Amino acid sequence: MNPKTTNKIAIGLIYTFVAIVVAILISLIGYILVTGVPHISWHFLTSKSQSFLSGGGIRDQLFNSIYLLFLTLCLSFPIALGSGIYLAEYAPKNWITEVIRTTIEVLSSLPSVVVGLFCYLLFVVQMHIGFSILSGAIALTFFNLPLLTRNIENSLRSVSHLQREAGLSLGLSQWKTITGIILPAAVPGIITGIILSAGRVFGEAAALIYTAGQSASIIDYTNWNIFSSSSFLNPMRPAETLAVHIWKVNSEGITPDANLVSSGSSAVLIILILLFNLLAHWIGNRLYRKMTSNF
Amino acid sequence: MKKYNLDESFIYKFDNEKAIVTKSVNVFYGDHQSIFNVNLAFPRFSITALIGSSGSGKSTFLRSLNRMNDSIANVDGNIMYRDVDINDKKVNVYEVRKQIGMVFQRPNPFAKTIRDNITFALKKHGIKDKEELNERVESSLKEAALWDEVKDKLDKSALSLSGGQAQRLCIARTIAMKPDILLLDEPASALDPISTAKIEETLKNLKSKYTIIIVTHNMQQASRVSDYTAFFHSGHVLEFDKTAKIFTTPKIQATEDYISGNFG
């Protein structure tokens, strides 16, 4: 076979594979949007869910998903940032840090049901936190940490070592070089990591069933007292997220419009993830420009 | 490769004031020794070129002079700067690098504005006064012969500069710290001839205020810009003398072979 034909065959194959991936993606998202979007209405987004009657909304689930993401990032980002900086900049090359890296990788591939049950036993039962957003956020932090740590480590590593030398040669300490020069240059990569982990938080159901619970408790959006049990900000209240709601409506929903609610919720979830991606990119770009003035 | 007698060397002792003096400096990468017993005294307010083939140890030696080899290699011996042995582990290494600045082979401006590239380290070293910072930006850029090209875009990203401009910005960034000694590690090897000429011109202007030590592969460059030259071979300094002497009447066979291109 001459090189030209080989090349043509290879390119043809690659195009076919790409086409398959794109087709699967488009048909999935298209199906969800086509079946779900017609059910989305202002009423659907702003009213509470119903257990027996039709016409239920997803107001609380929607808010819970966003709030859970916020809490999870508050818990996991600082820890991941610290360990990412350690692994990328300070960790000596020896078997201990290799063990740490392997452990992180194993942690990221744990089945979510296992982590969910573990957190259920430890936090919900043993530590008496109960079904709550906080327990859910801790469970999700377990998933998030490896992903974020690895991502931050790689983003920092991808900044040229010439930049580190430049900082050190100007008499700056390693810490000042990292925080002032390396970290700002790594912002775009870190934002990508946050987006990936956010997708996981929005989509996670199995681990949350055992930790954040499946009940939509009555919450009051005018009560800003974080310690009040009816406040929407109280992290100690049980909270059903969108993904859990979809699972629940599909598996044991008895409302007449269960199918519609589940389709609508799925569409909202996808749109939510999309919006979050755009928002995170926008914020990330602004942050990067502000820190590096790179236009 | 021809074998030369590494014990035979010619190190001229000058009477001028010295900026930095090394005494039996040896450098080890793990078990591998790459610098052997270097004793050099660098005259103040002059340009000294370190020449030699790749792997002769000239960059390694240069990086030892402001402790950039810390955590990479083991540096033995004394490096005397203003009566202080700066190779002593107890010495404040950040203060050393403020006094002995370094410019690297590849231009490495920060992903910041041109202004911030210069002020960033100054601010971290405690200079907060706006006027003082502006003054340092202007004077260092002028000294590095970059001011006219960038004075209207100080708040643009430094990454938009050409390679030659970026390298001069790196020089400006270093001299804004008001160092005493400038170490340059092949600063023009990644640049085109016009940028190279500008850098060389800049260096000649800088030597009235700074002591400059430059590593270079380019022998024409060494003969054009430097006052003194040290020839490195296999980790040994085989000859150190006035540049004019090295390039016309070298005392050592290896030096003569190297500068006439009959090497290896």
Tell if the CB–CB gap between A172 and B112 is shorter than 8 Å: no
Longest Cα separation, chain B? 59
Contact criterion met (CB < 8 Å) for B96 and A184? no
User: For residue B163, what are the contacts with CB-CB under 8 A and spacing of at least 6?
Assistant: B107, B190, B191, B192, B195
pLDDT at residue number B1:
60
Q: A294 pLDDT band (50/70/90 cuts)?
A: low
pLDDT in tens, A204-251: 888 888 888 777 677 777 777 777 777 777 777 888 888 888 888 888
Q: What pLDDT is attached to residue B264?
A: 55
Is the minimum CB–CB distance between A42 and chain B shorter than 8 Å? no
What is residue B215's three-state secondary structure? strand
Nearest of B34, B25, B32 to residue B56 by alpha carbon: B34
**B124 contacts on A by Cβ (under 8 Å):** 172, 176, 180
Q: How many CB atoms lie within 10 A of CB A50?
A: 15
Residues of B within 8 A of A91 (CB-CB) are none
How far apart, in whole angstroms, are the C-alpha atoms of residue A124 and residue A131? Answer: 6
A13-41 CB burial, b ≥16 within 10 A, e <16 = eeeeeeeeeeeeeeeeeeebbebbeebbe
**Does residue A226 or residue A172 have the better pLDDT?**
A172
- Strands B47-51 and B211-215, bridge-based pairing: parallel
Find out whether B56 and B227 touch, Cβ atoms under 8 Å.
no
Taken as a whole, chain B contains a residue count of: 264
- Chain A residues in contact with B98 (beta carbon < 8 A): 170-171
Q: Which residue does chain B place closest to A294, by CA atoms?
A: B157
How is residue B178 annotated by DSSP?
Answer: -
H helices of B207-252, where? 219-225, 243-248
Question: Contact B124/A172, CB-based, under 8 Å?
Answer: yes
Chain B partners within 8 Å of A89 (Cβ): none
ipTM of model: 0.86
How far is it, in rounded angstroms, from Cα A165 to Cα B145? 24
Task: Tally the C-alpha atoms within 13 A of residue A70's C-alpha that lie toward its C-beta.
Answer: 8
Residue keyed to tokens 């030590």? B213
Contact A170 B95 (CB under 8 A): no
Element (H, E) at A163: helix A161-169
Mean pLDDT of all residues in B147-153: 91
Please give the backbone phi and psi of residue B188, each rounded to the nearest 5 degrees, phi first: -115, 5
Q: Looking at the DSSP assignment, which residues form a beta bridge with residue B27?
A: B35, B75
Chain B residues lying within 8 Å of A185, measured CB to CB = 110-111
Structure tokens belonging to residue A111:
């089945």
Contact flag A165-B108 (C-beta cutoff 8 Å): yes
Interface test with A, best of B86, B96, B110 (most A CBs within 10 A): B110
SS3 content of chain B, % helix, strand, coil (to 5): 35, 25, 40
Q: Do A184 and B111 touch (CB under 8 A)?
A: yes
* Full-model pTM: 0.82
